[in-house]
Structures are given as structure tokens and as C-alpha cells.
């Protein structure tokens, strides 16, 4: 039986071909399990067996992984596999036992170690050739299995390396994150400290300068040093929403200023200036920005860095505060913008404070003047009222009462029963008419009857002007005052105008007089122009009519207003006064 096929060249050739194909199949496998499965299948083919099994994976002294094959494709049960190995003279610990003719096995050896076993069985006994072929195949399987193990270990090593690198990177990232957090906290703290410094600077600068311009200049310098800016500039929102750079900016040269012109702004505008001023945008651009959205702004200004923040107090938009050309590497940071923003807010508060103080100072000044005028009048014991009463009485005496005396004497001449002297009667009638006119005039000047009506001031002045017709003086009136003026105000304005008209009437020899009343600076301005003979203002106190103009002046000062008179001999007179509406 053993000699039967040994010398059969066909059988040998076939066996070598099958062996070759089996080794090729082995080479195409990826891992140990695939090697074992392929080995079982190919062993079946090489040895024409009914069953085949491969055990490998030396752990705890036993090959615990078993792969089997049969011609029908069904794997063997665990017991069948164990029986097969046993029949082939192998046990799963690799020890060789006595083998039977219908079964054969081979140890899988690599690097001098048994790394597995393999067995086949069939009903008939195996030839020598078949035994040799299995032995050869076992060598190839062992090599493939060993290689697969090596590959597996390499893969495990690689994944361990990858995992290790991942962990390393994660660790590095965490470390960076922590460092970044520390840096952020430091930056915020620094920004906070700088903001406090700005506020401290503002509070001390606010009271040290002589003018607001001084304050802006000093604050500009402080802010420039804090945010590391080469230039700091206040842009003020002027009339007509024109944004205009203020002079004396920090680090700003005349040539830089000459490049900047006023820019129009608009509460609804979407240009940069409008958005900063009206929409509270915080603007920041550095030349190194990628992408550089605002490169055109930097180019237009001719700077490498720029930032600007609103300059506002409450709802009052004063303009914007800008810093240019960072001196620190990396340009302006977000925190720098915050510091600048605080400076903008603080500066606006100071601006407001300053304006409020200025208003207060003006009020105090005016009140002081009024008070001085009142004190002066009290001291002289001749109040305007006293003087006016005297003038009223004097006019009564000089004219109306004299005429009445004349009338009385005329009446005394009329002897009862005597013929009526027509000429004497005419004279008396005329005298009485003149007396009535004079009395009406006096009463009118004290309080014109139409003054109480809404348009009473204009009507009263017109009535007073109409009386000039008797003196052949042409007259004109321009009046633009609120209709709801209080009666005291209308009365005061009327007496001022009437006083000036009376002066023109009595002393000027004018042919024409013009009265203008208009609103100005929260008050009413009155101007009375005539084309009369005029006079030297300094000599006025010795001239007729002095008392009337003196009263006009005192009334204006008492009401907290102003008074001025311009005249030259031969070129008319202009009397001007202003009375505040809240007096």
C-alpha cells in the first residue's frame, strides 16, 4: 500500500500543484484566524481528506482556537476535532501520540516553537507522498501563522502608538487651554485695571484743566499710553451731523490732521462712523487681520491699526473716540477696545458735567448782575416805580392840569346873561380836547386797554405808534413773539417800547421810526431805530429824555436782561434791549 503511488509522476505533479495553490492561498490571508481557516481548507484539498482541523493560539499551555473543515463545508464539532487530533497522534497541547493509518497530523513550528497543530483524516490510509505534502504544507502554515501573529502584534503596537499619541495631543491641548484661560483672565484683569486707571485719570483730569480742550488733550495722552496707541483723537459731532476731528489730539501731527476732513454721519447710516456714533459699534482693525475687511479704512487714514468707540453720555451722542497706530506688537486687542470704550463714556460724562457747570456759571453771572442792579436801586432809594410815578405826576402838572387851570379861568370870564363870546368858547373846547388827549395818552402809557388780549402787545404798540402821526413821524413795526406771553411780560415789553417811542417823539426830530420785536436766546429782543438828530451817548445824562432812557435801562437790568444804546449826532439812534422769558 505504501508503494502504490510513490512513483506515480502524475500524482506527484498533482500534489505539488495543489501544494503550490495552497501556499498561494495562504499568502493572501490577512490574520491568524484566516490563515487557520485557509490551512484547514487547503489541507483537505492537498490530502484529499474527509476532515481537517487546525488548532493555534497558545494560551495557558493549550491551543484554544480550533478551525476545522470538511468537503461539505460543515465545521467539525469540538469533540470531533478533539478525536481527529487524537487519531492523528496529536493532542491539543501539541504532544505527539501514536497515529492511526487513516489519520495524520503535523506540528506547526516557527522559530523553534510549536505554535499550533494540524490534522487530517479519511477512511483510507495516507501515502508517503501525502504525508510529506502535509509536512511541507505545515511548515508553510506555521510560517504564515507566525507572520500573521507578527502582523497582529505590529498592528497592536501601531494602534497603541496612535492611542498614545492621541493621549499626548489631548494632554497638550488641555495644557494649552489652561494656559489660554490663564492668559485670558490676565488680559481681562489688565483691561479692568486699565479701565480703572482711565477712570482715575478722568476724575483727576476733569478738575485740573482750564478748559474742556485741555481735558481732552490730557485724556487723549493718558488713553494713548494705556492702550499703546501712537495717536488718540476725539471726533466731535457738530451741527448738521458733521463728524469733525478736534484739534490737539495725542500724537497727531498737523500733516495727519490735514488729511482728515469732517465726515457726514446719520442715525440711520450704515457707514462706519454712523455705526460707531449712533449704533454703539466698537470698531477695531489691524493691518495684520486676515481677511482684512477694513483695510480700506486703514489705508484712507494712513495708519496701521485703528479702533474707535462711541463718545456718548446717556442718549446724548457727542461723537467718537479713536486710537490709531498701535505701538505694541500684535496691534490693538479686544481689551484695548474696552479700555477705549470706558474712556469714551467717562469723557462724555465730564463733557456733560462741564456744560452743566458752564450753564450754572452763566446763570449765576446773570443772577449776580440782576442782584447787583436790585441792590443798586435799593441803595439809591429811587426805584423805577418811584421815578415813574414822579414822571407821571410831572407830566400831569406840566400839561393836563395847566390846561385845566386855563379852562377854569376861561369859564370864570363867562358872565351869566352876557352875550356868548364864540371865540372864547372855541378856545375852551379846544383846551378841553387837548386835556382829554393828554390824559388818555398818560393812561394809555401806564396800561394800554388792549394789552390783555392774545395779540394785545402788537395791537398796543401799533396804537402807540399811530399817535406819532400827530408829530408827522412815519413808523413801522415787525413783531414775532409768542402769543401766550404772560401779562407782566407784555406789559414790560410795551413800557420799554413806549418809553423809546416817547423819546423819539419828544427829542429826536426823526422822520421815521422802526420797532422790531423778535425772539432771541430764550428771550425777547426789542430794537427801536430812528433817523433823527442823534446825540453823543456819553453826554446823554445831561440831555432831555435821559430819565426815560434810564428807566428803560433799569427795567431791563431788573428783569435780568440787557440794554444798549447807539447814537451819533446826525445819524439817528438805536435803542436795543433784551429781556429773558423766564424772568
Please give the residue ranges that form the binding site for another protein (CB under 8 A).
397-398, 401-403, 405-413, 424, 427, 431
Least CB distance to another protein at residue 376 (A): 29
| Residue among 409 and 536 whose Cβ is closer to another protein | 409
Question: With respect to another protein, which residue has the nearer C-beta, 110 or 428?
Answer: 428
**Burial of residue 174 (number of CB atoms within 10 Å: 0-12, 13-18, 19+):** exposed
CB 565 to another protein: min, Å: 26
Cβ within 8 Å of residue 346, ≥6 positions away:
198, 199, 202
Q: How many CB atoms are closer than 10 A to CB 68? A: 23
**Judged by CB, which is closer to another protein: 242, or 432?**
432
- Residue 71, classed as helix, strand or coil, is coil
Q: Which is nearer to another protein, 16 or 406 (CB)?
A: 406
Residues 6+ apart with CB under 8 A from 380: none
Minimum CB–partner distance for residue 542 and another protein (Å): 16
Cβ closest to another protein, residue 406 vs residue 581: 406
How far, in Å, CA of 307 to CA of 317, rounded? 18
124/405 with CB nearer another protein: 405
User: Whole-angstrom Cα distance, residue 145 to residue 156?
Assistant: 16
**Shortest Å distance, C-beta 390 to another protein:** 14
**CA distances (Å), origin 447, targets 196, 272, 459, 494, 500:** 64, 61, 13, 9, 16
Name the minimum Å distance from CB 437 to another protein.
Answer: 13
Minimum CB distance to another protein, residue 433 (Å) = 12
DSSP run (H or E) holding 578: strand 573-580
Minimum CB distance to another protein smaller for 423 or for 538: 423
Supply the minimum distance, in Å, between the C-beta of residue 420 and another protein.
14
Cβ proximity to another protein, 89 vs 410, nearer residue: 410
Q: How far apart are CA 36 and CA 46, in angstroms?
A: 15
Q: Rounded to whole angstroms, how far apart are CA atoms 377 and 551?
A: 11
From the CB of 507, what's the least distance to another protein, in Å?
A: 16
Nearest to 554 by CA among 303, 420, 383: 383
Nearer to another protein, 119 or 400 (CB): 400
Which residues, 6 or more positions from 229, have their beta carbon under 8 angstroms from its beta carbon? 223, 250, 251, 305, 323, 324, 325, 326, 327, 332, 336
Q: What is the largest CA-CA distance in the chain?
A: 205
- What is the DSSP secondary-structure string of 360-412? HHHHHHHHHHHHHHHHHHHHHT--HHHHHHHHHHHHIIIIIIHHHHHHHHHHH
Least distance (Å) between residue 506 CB and another protein: 15
Amino acid at each position: 500500500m505504501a508503494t502504490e503511488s510513490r512513483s506515480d509522476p502524475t500524482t506527484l505533479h498533482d500534489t505539488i500543484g495543489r501544494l503550490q495553490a495552497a501556499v498561494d492561498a495562504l499568502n493572501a490571508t490577512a490574520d491568524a484566524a484566516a490563515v487557520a481557516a485557509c490551512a484547514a481548507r487547503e489541507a483537505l484539498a492537498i490530502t484529499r481528506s474527509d476532515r481537517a482541523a487546525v488548532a493555534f493560539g497558545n494560551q495557558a499551555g493549550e491551543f484554544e482556537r480550533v478551525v476545522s473543515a470538511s468537503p461539505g463545508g460543515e465545521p467539525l464539532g469540538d469533540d470531533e476535532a478533539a478525536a481527529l487530533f487524537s487519531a492523528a497522534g496529536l493532542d491539543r497541547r501539541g504532544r505527539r501520540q501514536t497515529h492511526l493509518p487513516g489519520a495524520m497530523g503535523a506540528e506547526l513550528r516557527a522559530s523553534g516553537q510549536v505554535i499550533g497543530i494540524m490534522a487530517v483524516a479519511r477512511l483510507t490510509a495516507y501515502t508517503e507522498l501525502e504525508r510529506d505534502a502535509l509536512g511541507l504544507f505545515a511548515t508553510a502554515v506555521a510560517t504564515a501563522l507566525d507572520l500573521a501573529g507578527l502582523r497582529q502584534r505590529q498592528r497592536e503596537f501601531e494602534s497603541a502608538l496612535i492611542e498614545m499619541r492621541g493621549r499626548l495631543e489631548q494632554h497638550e491641548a488641555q495644557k494649552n487651554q489652561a494656559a489660554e484661560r490663564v492668559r485670558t483672565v490676565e488680559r481681562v484683569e489688565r483691561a479692568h485695571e486699565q479701565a480703572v486707571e482711565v477712570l482715575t485719570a478722568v476724575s483727576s483730569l476733569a478738575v485740573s484743566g482750564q478748559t474742556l480742550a485741555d481735558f481732552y488733550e490730557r485724556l487723549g495722552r493718558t488713553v494713548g499710553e494705556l492702550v499703546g496707541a501712537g495717536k488718540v483723537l476725539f471726533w466731535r459731532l457738530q451741527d448738521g451731523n458733521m463728524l469733525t476731528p478736534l484739534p490737539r489730539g495725542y500724537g497727531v501731527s498737523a500733516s495727519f490732521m490735514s488729511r482728515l476732513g469732517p465726515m457726514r454721519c446719520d442715525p440711520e447710516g450704515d457707514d462706519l462712523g454712523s455705526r460707531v456714533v449712533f449704533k454703539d459699534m466698537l470698531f477695531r482693525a489691524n493691518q495684520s487681520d486676515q481677511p482684512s475687511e477694513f483695510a480700506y479704512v486703514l489705508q484712507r487714514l494712513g495708519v496701521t491699526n485703528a479702533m474707535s468707540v462711541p463718545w456718548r453720555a446717556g442718549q446724548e451722542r457727542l461723537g467718537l473716540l479713536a486710537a490709531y497706530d498701535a505701538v505694541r506688537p500684535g496691534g490693538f486687542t479686544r481689551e484695548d477696545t474696552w479700555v477705549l470704550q470706558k474712556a469714551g463714556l467717562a469723557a462724555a460724562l465730564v463733557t456733560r458735567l462741564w456744560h452743566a457747570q458752564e450753564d450754572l456759571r452763566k446763570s449765576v453771572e446773570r443772577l449776580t448782575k440782576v442782584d447787583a442792579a436790585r441792590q443798586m436801586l435799593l441803595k439809591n432809594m429811587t426805584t423805577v416805580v418811584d421815578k415813574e410815578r414822579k414822571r407821571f405826576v410831572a407830566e400831569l402838572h406840566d400839561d393836563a392840569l395847566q390846561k385845566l387851570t386855563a379852562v377854569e379861568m376861561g369859564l370864570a370870564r363867562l358872565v351869566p346873561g352876557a352875550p356868548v363870546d364864540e371865540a372864547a368858547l372855541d378856545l375852551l373846547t379846544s383846551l378841553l380836547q387837548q386835556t382829554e388827549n393828554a390824559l388818555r395818552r398818560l393812561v394809555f402809557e401806564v396800561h394800554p386797554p388792549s394789552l390783555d388780549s392774545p395779540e394785545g402787545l402788537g395791537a398796543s404798540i401799533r396804537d402807540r405808534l399811530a399817535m406819532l402821526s400827530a408829530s408827522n413821524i412815519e413808523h413801522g413795526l415787525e413783531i414775532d413773539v409768542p402769543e401766550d406771553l404772560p401779562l407782566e411780560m407784555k406789559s414790560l415789553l410795551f413800557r420799554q417800547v413806549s418809553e423809546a417811542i416817547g423819546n423819539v417823539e419828544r427829542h429826536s426830530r426823526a422822520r421815521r421810526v422802526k420797532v422790531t420785536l423778535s425772539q432771541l436766546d430764550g428771550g425777547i429782543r426789542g430794537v427801536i431805530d430812528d433817523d433823527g438828530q442823534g446825540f453823543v451817548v456819553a453826554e446823554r445824562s445831561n440831555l432831555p429824555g435821559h430819565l426815560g432812557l434810564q428807566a428803560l435801562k433799569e427795567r431791563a437790568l431788573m428783569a435780568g436782561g440787557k440794554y444798549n444804546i447807539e447814537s451819533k449826532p446826525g445819524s439817528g439812534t438805536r435803542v436795543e434791549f433784551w429781556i429773558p422769558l423766564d424772568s
